[in-house]
Amino acid sequence: MSKPRRGSRQPELFPRSKRATISVAPNHRLVELTDEVDWTELEIRAEKIRASKLKSAAGRPPHMRTLLGAMVLRATRYVPYRVLEDQIRYYAPARYLCGLTETDWSPDHNTLHDFIELMGEEGTRLINEYVVEWAVEKKLADPKLLVADMTAQEAAIPYLRLSNTYQPETPDSVGRQPGTLG
């Protein structure tokens, strides 16, 4: 009876690195966008909006550069918060956009949601004015996928009862059958 083998019988002279090095194409849309945006100016504007909405400055300061990069990513490719989290964690150009190429840390969906909600309409307007319009002009973002209004981002799918397609299964109060007019 033989034992199952674990690994190679002869170890390598130099152990392989467990940390992957992924190069990002310099002509990728998100890389070009990252390199062209004045992040310092964007952070100053965002900090003013954040300070005006907070009641106290208690707590840890946010990773402003990362969260602003996430807002830009979400504005240029409308995705839900959990998909946004995965994009930032595993997609190299998105990590570059968020300034996370030198770290293993990435924000979770709750952090992303809380920051984007805190920034609100003013923050969305800031991103739209400062980044998204420029990205569309330079053909770095597709205008068909952009969401420029916070209400459109929050309410992308109407509730079933509010849409015209909902038909109740029971007769209504007048006694008509569902789907009939008379």
Residues in CB range of 131: below 8 A, 6 or more apart: 33, 37, 42, 72, 75, 76
SS3 assignment, position 70: helix
Q: How confident is the model at residue 95, as a pLDDT?
A: 94
Give the model confidence (pLDDT) of 79-116 as tens digits: 899 999 999 999 999 999 999 988 889 999 999 999 99
> Are 88 and 95 contacting, i.e. CB atoms less than 8 angstroms apart?
yes
Task: Name the average pLDDT for the chain.
Answer: 77
Give the model confidence (pLDDT) of 38-65 as tens digits: 899 889 989 999 988 888 878 888 999 9
> Are 108 and 156 contacting, i.e. CB atoms less than 8 angstroms apart?
no
Give the model confidence (pLDDT) of 125-164 as tens digits: 877 777 777 777 777 677 776 555 544 444 444 444 444 4
Q: How confident is the model at residue 162, as a pLDDT?
A: 45
**Phi, psi dihedrals of residue 37, rounded to the nearest 5°:** -75, 140
What's 129's DSSP letter?
A: I
